[in-house]
Structure formats: C-alpha cells, structure tokens
Amino acid sequence: MGPMSRVRLKPDPARVVIRPFTPAENSSSSLNGPLRAARILDRVLSLDIRDVDKDVDSIISSLQSRHIDVRRILMHRYHDIVEPHVCGRTLSDRQKLLAGAYFVEEYSFEAAALFNPSVVLHPDQRGTAQGSIRLILSLRAVGEGHVSSVTFRTATLGPDARLEVNSPSSQTISPQIDRIPGGAPDDPGLRLFFGDLKDLSQVVIFPVTYQQRMGIEDMRLTRFVEDDGHVTFFGTYTAFSGERIRQEMLRTTDFATMELNALDGALSATKGMALFPKRIGGRYAMLGRHDHENIWFLQSNDLYRWEQGKVILAPRWPWEFVQIGVCSPPIETEAGWLVIIHGVGAVRNYCLGCCLLDKEDPSKVIARSTKPLMQPGAEARNGYVPNVTYTCGALVHEGTLILPYGVADSFTTFARFPLSAILASMS
C-alpha cells in the first residue's frame, strides 16, 4: 500500500474565470441621482467612437486567450445591468460590449489551493483502450477571500492502475445561468449551461447565490444508476453563506448542462452528505454527519428532502475521538458497501479510514477501521491547513481501490490499495 504515482494536482493562479462584478452603491449619492450603472454608462457614451473601438479591441484581446466566448459574456452583462439605464438612446454593439466590460471581473478560482477530490466514471468511454477507463475528477478550488469553487479534470486509468491526468485547458467557460424551480420549496435553483463543451476542465462552478457566496465546498460525485439502467450524475456539496451552511446537489447527465438545487428537511442542514449510487429498498439513501460528530444513514422517497435517519457509526478509536464523517459515496463490492471515512483526532489531525456496510441493509455496520488507512505525514504538516489528509471520493477498478486525496488542504495526489487488503484491515 502507498502512493500510486508522483501525480500532483497543484493550484494555478493563472486559471481564471469571468464572473459578474457589481460596484457597490454610494447610499448618499444614490438618493439624489442616477445609480452607478447609469453613471458608468454615461461615461462610456461620452467617449469618442475611436476610443471605444480601441478599448474594446484591447479588452477582448486580453481576455480571449483565457476565456471562451468573451463577446457573449460582455453582451450578457450589458443586457443584465446596463440596458435598463439606456433610456431610449441608441448604442452600437461596440458601446454595449464596452459598457458590459465594466461589470465583470476575472477571478483566480484556484489561486490558493486545489484539494478534496472526488472521482466517477466518465459518461463517455468511447475510444478507451482495452483494460482502461476514463474518469472525471471534481476538485475544491480556493481563491481570493478563501472562497471555494468546484473545478474538474479528466483522467485515464489504465492496466495495473496506471493513472494519467489530462492537463487542464488554458481557457475557462463562464456559463449561462438561469433560475429554475425545484429542490427545496420556495427556493429556486440554478441551471448552468456551458454550451458545446469540449473539455471538462474548462468548467468552473463558482458561487452565484447569496447562500453560496462564501463558497461551494467538497463536492461528492455519484454515478447513480436507476433500476431501468438510466444513469444520472449527482454531486452533493456544502454551500456556505458566511453565516450558515446547507447542502445542495448538482444534477447532470453530460456535465455540459447542470442543475443546482438546495436540499430540504430536518437532516439536510449538515456537511458531508454522500448519495448511494442506486436505490436501497426502492428509496434513495444517503450517508451524512447531521450532528457534526457521528455518521448517519438516511433514506427518503424524495431526492431533495431528507427527514429520516439514524446514527450508525460513532467515534471509537483515538484517531477519531473528535468526530468521524463520510468521505466517499458508498462503493458497491461483493462484500458490502465500502465507504471511505475520516476521523479527527488530537491536534486536529484528519486521518482516513473505512467501513463496510451490509449490502441489503446499509444501516448495519459489518466492519470498520481500527487504525487509520492514511494519516498526515511530513508532506501534510505544511500547507493551507496543516495535518489534514482528506478525500471526497474513491472507486474500485479491477480489484484496486483508487483513492485521490487532498494534502493539507493545499494540493491533490493519489494512492492505490488492493481491495482485498482494505477489506482485511477492518474488524
């Protein structure tokens, strides 16, 4: 057992996304005159057309090497923010683009850290060599202001568990964002449309709503298979407003269009919820840490509402005396449901362990780790958050557990373990 490879996924401040920017209003002046958007528009319209052309060319030239469809983004911001203040005046397309540019900003979404990965099979396995599979990794990226976003990588896992992670694109896509009904009652969700997506690493899910404004954290991707064989990808994650947390869920079939909705119910206001990859006894099933200390087993007929559950695992060993929680969505094996868990011990050390749940009744614990499967080593002593080894997902392929994990909340690397050894390590 040990590190799979020398692969390291590290944060890159050159990776940026265009996101909306709205200047704050000066309350005293806004009472006596136009809003700032109107004043900025007036200034743009005062420019000579040659200056407009020069500025537009400069802005687009500087952005298009790092972003896709720049003109669409600028024009969209114009229609969203500026157009209500036009007041019958006629603007050229170039003036509209320039006005829109004053209401966007570049955001370096992984400037500080890139960690807490999850992993699933890619929906498109065409063209893979025999014995190989294509994977999707989600990662938590931290940028300015300790704000978290979700980004993605693709990878290929070959024979003998050889892993190759594709280099990320130099460009990102700012999605078209629409409000949609669904999820928690009276709480509209979001639909993100990334267009004709060619490279999943171009996708960034950054905070949009007030409930997300301080971060979208720790996505746990699940490849969910219905009884009829239909496949949908779900990703539970924590939305943090700066004041409170809540669980939300991504839903997609192709990762080009994604829906984000809040979860509801008494057992949804928590962290670390992970969806089973199929129904259990005809119902959706989830693991979570509702009380911040123990692992709970939850079931529901409604994917977005969680009311019923019970504690199935509590801290027992010194490496988990502070708390235990779910890391990976459950992995189905012949022996039962394998779940990677974490424990927090002395000096707030985060270690990884595992447990095995009954295949028919996952509320029954068959076995669990008595000692950590992985614990912070020398490389985890220094980083954004010292002494942390953590993951949000794993998978089993040809008898090997593939485990991506974050180091010191700073970067991501990988380990592999024989499944037989993992099962034998528990009691």
Backbone φ/ψ region at 44: left (φ over 0), alpha (ψ -120 to 50), beta: alpha
Q: What is the pLDDT of residue 419?
A: 97
Residue 5 has pLDDT above 90, yes or no: no
Q: What is the pLDDT of residue 250?
A: 98
Q: What is the pLDDT of residue 114?
A: 98
Residue 26 has pLDDT above 50, yes or no: yes
The string of pLDDT tens digits covering residues 261-281 is: 999 999 987 789 999 999 999
**CB atoms closer than 10 angstroms to residue 291:** 13
Cα 174 to Cα 196: distance, rounded to the nearest angstrom: 12
Q: What is the pLDDT of residue 4?
A: 43
Nearest-CA neighbor of 133 among 155, 165, 160? 155
pLDDT band, very low/low/confident/very high, at 2 (cuts 50, 70, 90): very low
The string of pLDDT tens digits covering residues 340-384 is: 999 999 999 999 999 999 999 999 999 999 999 999 988 888 889
Residue 327 has pLDDT above 50, yes or no: yes
pLDDT, mean of residues 12-17:
96
Residue 1 has pLDDT above 50, yes or no: no
Q: Where are the domains of the chain?
A: 2-14+110-425, 32-102
Q: What is the pLDDT of residue 349?
A: 96
Residue 32 has pLDDT above 80, yes or no: no
Residue 29 has pLDDT above 70, yes or no: no
Q: In terms of pTM, does the model score above 0.85?
A: yes
Q: What is the pLDDT of residue 187?
A: 80
Cβ atoms 135, 154 nearer than 8 A: yes
**CB atoms closer than 10 angstroms to residue 284:** 20
Q: Percentage of residues in the chain with pLDDT exceeding 70?
A: 96
Both tokens assigned to 69: 């469809």
Burial of 114 (0-12, 13-18, 19+ CB in 10 A): buried
Q: What Rg, from alpha-carbon coordinates, does the chain have?
A: 23
The string of pLDDT tens digits covering residues 164-179 is: 999 999 999 999 999 9
CA dihedral 306, 312, 315, 317 (to 10 degrees): -150
Q: What is the pLDDT of residue 3?
A: 45
Q: What is the pLDDT of residue 33?
A: 62
Backbone φ/ψ region at 265: left (φ over 0), alpha (ψ -120 to 50), beta: left
Residue 28 has pLDDT above 70, yes or no: no
| pLDDT, averaged across the chain | 94
Q: What is the pLDDT of residue 27?
A: 67
Cβ atoms 331, 395 nearer than 8 A: yes
pLDDT, mean of residues 148-159:
96
Between 317 and 161, the more confident residue is 317
Residue 182 has pLDDT above 80, yes or no: no
Q: Percentage of residues in the chain with pLDDT exceeding 90?
A: 88
Residue 31 has pLDDT above 80, yes or no: no
pLDDT, mean of residues 391-402:
96
Cβ atoms 294, 360 nearer than 8 A: no
pLDDT, mean of residues 81-107:
97
CATH class of 2-14+110-425: mainly beta
Cα 286 to Cα 281: distance, rounded to the nearest angstrom: 13
Q: Is the dihedral of CA 106, 73, 209, 324 positive or negative?
A: negative
